Amino acid sequence: MESSGGDAETPSFGPRVLVVGGGIAGLGAAQRLCRHPAFPRLRVLEATARAGGRIRSERSFGGVVEIGAHWIHGPSQGNPVFQLAAKYGLLGEKELSAENQLMETGGHVGLPSVSYASSGGSVSLELVAEMATLFYSLVDQTREFLHAAEPPVPSVGEYLKKEISQRAARWTEDEGTRKLKLAVLDSFFSLECCVSGAHSMDLVALAPFGEYSVLPGLDCTLPGGYQGLIDGILASLPQDMMVFNKPVKTVHWNGSFQEATSPGETFPVSVECEDGTRFPAHHVVLTVPLGFLKERLDTFFEPPLPTEKAEAIRKVGFGTNNKIFLEFAEPFWEPGCQHIQVVWEDASPLQDAAPAMRDTWFRKLIGFLVLPSFPSAHVLCGFIAGLESEFMETLSDAEVLQALTHVLRRATAPDTVCWGSHTSDLLLHHTRSSAVRLEGG
């Protein structure tokens, strides 16, 4: 079976290796393989016209906007991303300081600067801090079941709700305060769904939850954008190694393939692209997203993968996270504000309500971060995960803008926000399309 593809300039000795996917995983694999003299014939196939995958920094609002990866979590010496960022000169003095690297956060998101009730008015930050301490102490407890012979319940969500229910039964405050405490806890559940990339913590298995290693260091961003990591790795690779605009259709494996330019040489793998081009290889490193594998599993491999491998791909969870960027003519938040939380007062993690998604999808928002890097623009970044996030992708930009404007107007009343000051622009990023900027009212 003949195969087209290959490059006359490629060295004709040593095994031929293909990396499928030009995101950070694929680029990292290529960089590592390039250092090894046994792999001189190496190519990276990327489906799009750019490298980076879910790392995507764009210029907007007069500054850098992270459409994808946002922070370095646990920026310290044990973190390879931190090491790369430091190597490429992408971090400032504060991020590189020993004090920042030694700070212990437990892997948890910091407290909000201000918390609004969905019906209007502020929620006591003391109450929010009390519930955060409870919630994160329980999350820490879930990690203790990593080596348990049998966990008490199947999922992280079930464990958290069981423990919260027991503690809530002992609360002595009035009914309104007890309901507000549960509402605040519900907002932390939504936050944890974003952190875990899951629709519900009931879908996150309890036993292996402790496998995640929490590193020291105060989470930080890259002032010039995460794209600097990609640019640094690309600069270290040979110029002809990347092959762009080559979406892969099928990986033919366990065969004996030939190439006209390499008579007498056979390859066990042939990677077929959507445009009909074939790249023969001795080894293929697949770094495509799990969601892509789930969608294409039945046609992506020929012959099909062994049953146990196919089942592993089908069963591993893969959630959806989205970001929403809102620009305001004037800020309604105080100087120094970093995180705005919205608490839905009728919500509770102990209740399984399932109202119409169209009317409630925005309640899954974890709140808004104030982006600090824009000298002349006032921008909030909202985060949303799960089925609500996927439903949001079906809406028009105008519908998203209208819903979020309504939420903020209602929650911040009767503060200093006036109708005319809200939301002059929206930058909405869908997971499978490009960012769209919308002029709003």
CB 342 within 8 A of CB 118: yes
The confidence band for 441, taking pLDDT boundaries of 50, 70 and 90, is very low
Pairing type for strands 339-343 and 266-267 reads unpaired
The pLDDT value recorded for residue 49 is 97
Strands annotated E in 278-320: 278-281, 283-286, 301-302
Token representation of residue 139: 């999350």
What are the backbone angles phi and psi of residue 196, rounded to the nearest 5°?
A: -90, -5
Q: Residue 408 — left, alpha, or beta (φ > 0 → left; ψ -120 to 50 → alpha)?
A: alpha
pTM of the model: 0.86
| DSSP assignments along 93-115, one per residue | HHHHSHHHHH---TTPPPPPSEE
The pLDDT value recorded for residue 428 is 41
The pLDDT value recorded for residue 414 is 54
pLDDT for residue 32 is more than 90:
yes
- pLDDT per residue over 267-282, tens digit each? 999 999 999 999 999 9
The confidence band for 12, taking pLDDT boundaries of 50, 70 and 90, is low
**Which residues make beta-bridge pairs with 439?**
425
Can you tell me the mean pLDDT for 27-33?
Answer: 95
- pLDDT per residue over 125-169, tens digit each? 999 999 999 999 999 999 999 988 899 999 999 999 999 999 999
Cα 14 from Cα 402, distance rounded (Å): 59
Q: Give the list of residues 6+ apart from residue 356 with CB closer than 8 angstroms, or none.
A: none
Q: Residue 225 — left, alpha, or beta (φ > 0 → left; ψ -120 to 50 → alpha)?
A: left
Question: Kindly report the CA angle at 362 between 361 and 365, in degrees rounded to 5?
Answer: 120
Can you tell me the mean pLDDT for 48-71?
Answer: 92
CB 317 within 8 A of CB 198: yes
Question: Kindly report the CA angle at 232 between 228 and 237, in degrees rounded to 5?
Answer: 145
The pLDDT value recorded for residue 106 is 87
- pLDDT per residue over 284-295, tens digit each? 999 999 999 999
The pLDDT value recorded for residue 384 is 95
The confidence band for 352, taking pLDDT boundaries of 50, 70 and 90, is confident
Can you tell me the mean pLDDT for 242-253?
Answer: 97
